[in-house]
Amino acid sequence: MKIDVAQWLGPELDDALTSFDMDSYTCCRSGDFDEEINWKVLMDAFLDGYHIASTHAGTVAPYFYNNVQAWRQMGRHARVVSARKSIDKVREQDPSEVDINRHITIAHFIMPNMSILRQPDHLEVLTFVPAPGTAEGTRMQMRILIREPAVTDEQKARWDKNWDILMAVLRDEDLVVNRALQHAVSNTDLPPLLFGRNEIANQHFHQWLDRALDDPRHWG
């Protein structure tokens, strides 16, 4: 089977990802994690911006302006930009003269199962695929991509530390909540769940997922 990646992404997202020069990056750390959690529960969790202030209160949240993000739909895909508090340092400066990339995180959500986060100095790529040997479990494939390969002991130690922090947030914070979410949505007595008007990313995901399930040939 042949997949036309550019056509799947659409011109806007294709251009955005091309501008990242991803082909010049190398994968410095990767890990697979199998969880008894449906992949849609995990996608919902990673699309959601509101959990950061509570679930990541002591780790990620202090560095970001929480509960406010710039959202842009790109056909079936989407982009969410979050501002770091460090953006205050350049708030008064002429936007044309400031490198804003050091102060924002850009998340691209690639339907149906992939996220690419551009952090100031690296990329995080997260993919959900079926976990082998399970009926409903998900394998989370996490990768950190960096521009310059880590060669020296100091560089390797730096990325070891970054990876350990990322894994701790995932293991001790996101996955704890997501296991509880999976338990909750497995309850067959549960009434329909409604998203809030401001939960745009999650609404987008489910609308496009429904479209795909209605007719996989025409959901784009």
Please check whether residue 95 is in contact with residue 113, taking contact to mean a CB–CB distance below 8 angstroms.
no
Tell me the closest approach of the beta carbon of residue 46 to Fe ion, in angstroms.
7
**Which one, of 77, 116, 84, 79, lies nearest residue 99 by Cα?**
84
Residues with Cβ < 8 Å from 58, sequence gap 6 or more? Answer: none
54-83 residues near Fe ion, rule: CB under 5 A: none
**Which one, of 107, 102, 81, lies nearest residue 90 by Cα?**
102
* Gap between the Cα atoms of 203 and 138, Å rounded: 21
- Nearer to Fe ion by Cβ, of 6 and 168: the residue is 168
Tell me the closest approach of the beta carbon of residue 99 to Fe ion, in angstroms.
26
Tell me the closest approach of the beta carbon of residue 133 to Fe ion, in angstroms.
26
- Nearer to Fe ion by Cβ, of 123 and 124: the residue is 124
- Nearer to Fe ion by Cβ, of 98 and 200: the residue is 200
- Nearer to Fe ion by Cβ, of 124 and 174: the residue is 174
- Nearer to Fe ion by Cβ, of 35 and 174: the residue is 174
Count of alpha carbons within 13 angstroms of residue 176, beta-carbon side: 10
Element housing 122 (H / E): strand 122-130
The correct pick among 35, 44, 124, 174 for binding Fe ion (CB under 5 A) is 174
Q: How many residues does the chain have?
A: 220
- 80-to-58, 94, 98, 118, 124 alpha-carbon distances in Å: 22, 23, 20, 11, 14
Tell me the closest approach of the beta carbon of residue 80 to Fe ion, in angstroms.
13
Tell me the closest approach of the beta carbon of residue 131 to Fe ion, in angstroms.
20
Tell me the closest approach of the beta carbon of residue 147 to Fe ion, in angstroms.
25
Q: Which stretch binds Fe ion (CB under 5 A): 66-74, 101-109, 150-158, 167-175?
A: 167-175
Q: Which stretch binds Fe ion (CB under 5 A): 70-78, 103-111, 171-179, 183-191?
A: 171-179
Q: Which residue is nearest to Fe ion (CB)?
A: 174
- Nearer to Fe ion by Cβ, of 84 and 156: the residue is 84
In the complex, which residues of this chain contact Fe ion (CB under 5 A)? 174
